[in-house]
């Protein structure tokens, strides 16, 4: 709002100056422009932005449409922030290489003794073109002239991997957003992009951190949920069956009650009581992501858990070892599991009681595959960040960059769905990938897809990061003792393999006996004591508990409290 008021005041000043020319002084148009520019807080600047495109960048048709989109965006930017952009659209398959080459080129130029980064040029007396005094007055309206982009200038880039993010910030080529995100100017970003997502981009520096980019909202996981299905027709044979008895107050499966139900249906004819795989176990392993670990957490997160001391895990394993995984069969399965997105599960609700057992997992890879960053070679950091801010919060500008100009490049049909306009050969002249042009929540994800899609995605994203463990890896990777901790975790993983080899071949009865001894504080079982008293087990449990406690304490800070994402606006409708 302050920026808009400033631009409005500037416009009034310009108009007043023109009026005074005819009423009270004899200044020329050139002198008026010079006086205005000399007294404005911001000189006109041109910024460039490098992004991938699905189109052929060398196509004359694409370049024509790109120029039209550029101008439509610049009408807003010139008016609101005395800035304009030049879009560098690079073929998607070549983008990462082209970006790397440009960043290397700029880094190499820094060794030139006469070289100055663009951000050091603004207002410098050796570079008068950045203290713009050129312009013209046409029909009483002042038209300021914007400088061309310098060959040493690169303002905004789209980063598509963690490797590139690390590479560019470690070389000092990116501008930090840390201070900016604590100001009211960029508060909307903190509301639109959840703190857990931004946390993944934090880089530890001493006792503080820096953050070098803003990720675009999109689906941050595979979107796959896991559900337990309880066959209603089988359950009907169990006297006084109540599905609510199978879950606890948090809605999670009560495996002890589930075991009672499974045992009660063993006599139902043509029925398999229970079918599962080891992936269905109600535990997230720590350290060994896909294999067994002695340390884990509940499927909905929490502090480090002693795996073999977890009653839900032990009960599940007894059921699994007793019944295993059902092969192709015509028999009904009383209790089974399915993995699907949360909209598909509706197809099962008529015949099954459905209990959600696992939510999608926040993917670090997906966070880093679409990040806008301002480089250290920007002509001015603040306004470059303002442009990124617009792509995160302004539906009109975001839609322009993604889909072009309404009625020229796309139209909205009577069902409220976007359709791209094709040429006589059935091709789009203007085409961008929605992942790479800003905050996904602000506009249509793709042609023919309703805006309702984002309502579903926001639910999935929310579920993906409600687990307190989300972000733990990113936090752990910043710790100064990471090397020491890795050594202890590696020792645990070696022990994990040995323990799993032991319990894998146990029968259900043998496993139940072993688990009972494990939980018995007075046990004299030598195998159990050898594991629990080992340095590998004790050290790893201590490491995980220490790091988790530190992480959750840091997450409790006010600036890191999660904020519910704002509702998407209709494309073309600016956000507040």
CB neighbourhood size of 532 (10 A): 17
Would you state the pLDDT for residue 371?
Answer: 98
Which pLDDT belongs to residue 528?
Answer: 95
Q: Can you tell me the distance from the alpha carbon of 132 to that of 380, in angstroms, rounded to the nearest whole number? A: 15
- Cβ distance 549 to 422 under 8 Å? no
Structure confidence at residue 196 as a pLDDT band (50, 70, 90): confident
Sheet strands side by side (includes 225-231): 271-274, 332-340, 225-231, 352-358
pLDDT of the residue at 472: 72
Exposed, middle or buried: residue 222 (CB in 10 Å: 0-12, 13-18, 19+)?
A: middle
| Residues 6 or more apart in contact with residue 485 via CB below 8 angstroms | 476, 479, 543, 547
What's the pLDDT tens digit per position in 74-87? 999 998 998 999 99
The alpha helices in 482-525, defined as continuous H runs, are 482-504, 508-519
| 139-194 confidence digits (pLDDT tens) | 555 667 788 899 999 999 999 999 999 999 999 999 999 999 999 889 889 888 98
Taking only the tens place, the pLDDT of each residue in 11-52 is 434 443 333 333 334 656 556 555 555 555 567 889 999 999
Q: Where in the chain is the domain with CATH 3.40.190.10?
A: 2-218+367-401
Of 112-121, 325-334, 487-496, which one has max mean pLDDT? 487-496
pLDDT tens column, 265-284: 999 999 999 999 999 999 88
Task: Find the radius of gyration of the CA atoms of the chain.
Answer: 30
DSSP for 310-351 reads -HHHHHHHHHHHHH----S-SSEEEEEEEEE-TTGGGGGTTT
Indicate the CATH number for domain 2-218+367-401: 3.40.190.10
pLDDT at 464: 86
pLDDT at residue 482, rounded to an integer: 85
Lowest mean pLDDT among 22-36, 69-83, 339-353, 480-494: 22-36
The DSSP code sequence of 225-262 is EEEEEEEHHHHTTSTT--GGGGB-TTS-B-HHHHHHHH
Q: How many helices (H) and strands (E) does the chain have?
A: 20, 18
Within a 10 A sphere around the Cβ of 183, how many other Cβ atoms? 8
In the predicted structure, residue 135 carries a pLDDT above the cut 60: no
Confidence of residue 61 (pLDDT cuts 50, 70, 90): very high
Q: What is the pLDDT of residues 390-433, one digit of tens each?
A: 999 999 999 999 999 999 999 999 888 999 998 777 788 899 99
Q: Indicate the DSSP class of residue 139.
A: T
pLDDT of res. 468:
59
Cβ 546 vs Cβ 304: under 8 Å:
no
Note the pLDDT of residue 372. 98
β-pairing, 295-298 vs 284-285, is antiparallel
Task: Look at residues 292, 397, 492, 291 and name the one whose alpha carbon lies nearest to residue 70.
Answer: 397
Tell me which residue of 132, 161, 169 sits closest to 147, measured CA to CA: 132
| Mean pLDDT across the chain | 85
Q: Is residue 322 very low, low, confident or very high in pLDDT (cuts 50, 70, 90)?
A: very high
Q: What is the pLDDT of residues 209-243, one digit of tens each?
A: 899 999 999 999 999 999 999 999 999 999 999 99
Token pair of 69 as six digits: 């989109």
pLDDT at 159: 98
Report which DSSP code applies to 467: S
For residue 523, the model assigns a pLDDT of: 94
Distance from C-alpha of 152 to C-alpha of 149, rounded to nearest angstrom = 8
Residues 186 and 180: beta-carbon distance below 8 Å: yes
Lowest mean pLDDT among 119-128, 266-275, 365-374: 119-128
Q: What pLDDT was estimated at residue 555? A: 65
Structure tokens at 169: 């910030």
In the predicted model, what is the mean pLDDT of residues 117-123?
81
* Structure-token match 């957490």, residue found: 297
What's the confidence (pLDDT) of residue 465?
79
């Amino acid at each position: 709002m302050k920026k808009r008021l400033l631009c409005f005041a500037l416009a009034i000043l310009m108009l007043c100056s023109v009026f005074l020319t005819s009423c009270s002084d004899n200044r020329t148009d050139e002198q008026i422009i010079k006086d205005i520019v000399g007294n404005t807080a911001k000189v006109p600047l041109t910024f460039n932005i490098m992004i991938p495109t699905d189109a052929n960048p060398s196509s004359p048709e694409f370049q024509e449409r790109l120029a039209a989109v550029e101008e439509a965006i610049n009408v807003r930017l010139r008016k609101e922030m005395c800035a304009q952009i030049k879009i560098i659209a690079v073929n998607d398959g070549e983008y990462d290489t082209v970006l790397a080459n440009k960043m290397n080129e700029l880094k190499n130029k820094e060794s030139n003794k006469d070289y100055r980064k663009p951000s050091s040029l603004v207002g410098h007396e050796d570079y008068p073109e950045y203290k713009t005094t050129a312009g013209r007055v046409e029909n009483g309206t002042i038209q300021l002239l914007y400088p061309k982009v310098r060959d040493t200038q690169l303002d905004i880039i789209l980063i598509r991997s963690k490797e590139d993010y690390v590479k560019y910030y470690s070389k000092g080529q990116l501008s930090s957003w840390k201070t900016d995100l604590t100001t009211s100017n960029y508060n909307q970003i903190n509301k639109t992009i959840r703190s857990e997502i931004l946390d993944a981009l934090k880089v530890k520096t001493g006792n503080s951190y820096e953050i070098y980019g803003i990720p675009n909202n999109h689906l941050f996981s595979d979107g796959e949920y896991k559900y337990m299905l309880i066959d209603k027709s089988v359950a009907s044979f169990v006297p006084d069956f109540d599905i609510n008895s199978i879950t606890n107050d948090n809605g999670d499966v009560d495996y002890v009650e589930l075991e009672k139900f499974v045992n009660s249906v063993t006599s139902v004819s043509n029925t398999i009581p229970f079918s599962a795989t080891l992936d269905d176990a109600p535990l997230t392993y720590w350290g060994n992501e896909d294999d067994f670990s002695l340390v884990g957490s509940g499927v909905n997160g929490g502090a480090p858990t002693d795996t073999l001391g977890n009653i839900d895990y032990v009960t599940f394993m007894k059921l699994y070892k007793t019944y295993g995984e059902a092969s192709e069969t015509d028999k009904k399965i009383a209790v089974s599991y399915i993995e699907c997105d949360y909209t598909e599960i509706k197809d099962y609700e008529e015949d099954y009681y459905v209990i959600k057992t696992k939510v999608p997992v926040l993917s670090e890879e997906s966070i880093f595959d679409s990040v806008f960053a301002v480089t250290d070679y920007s002509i001015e950091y603040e306004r470059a960040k303002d442009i990124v801010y617009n792509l995160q919060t302004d539906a009109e500008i975001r839609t322009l960059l993604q889909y072009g100009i309404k009625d020229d490049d796309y139209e909205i049909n009577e069902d409220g769905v976007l359709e791209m306009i094709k040429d006589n050969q059935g091709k789009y002249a203007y085409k961008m990938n929605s992942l790479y042009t800003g905050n996904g929540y602000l506009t249509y994800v793709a042609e023919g897809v309703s805006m309702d899609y984002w309502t579903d995605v926001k639910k999935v994203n929310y579920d993906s990061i409600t687990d307190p463990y989300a972000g733990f890896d990113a936090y752990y990777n910043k710790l100064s003792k990471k090397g020491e901790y890795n050594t202890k975790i590696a020792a645990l993983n070696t022990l994990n393999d040995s323990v799993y080899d032991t319990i894998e071949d146990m029968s259900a009865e043998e496993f139940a006996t072993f688990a009972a001894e494990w939980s018995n504080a007075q046990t004299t079982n030598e195998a159990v004591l050898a594991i629990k008293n080992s340095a590998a087990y004790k050290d790893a449990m201590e490491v995980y508990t220490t790091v988790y406690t530190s992480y959750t304490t840091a997450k409790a800070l006010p600036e890191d409290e999660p904020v519910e994402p704002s509702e998407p606006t209709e494309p073309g409708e600016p956000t507040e």
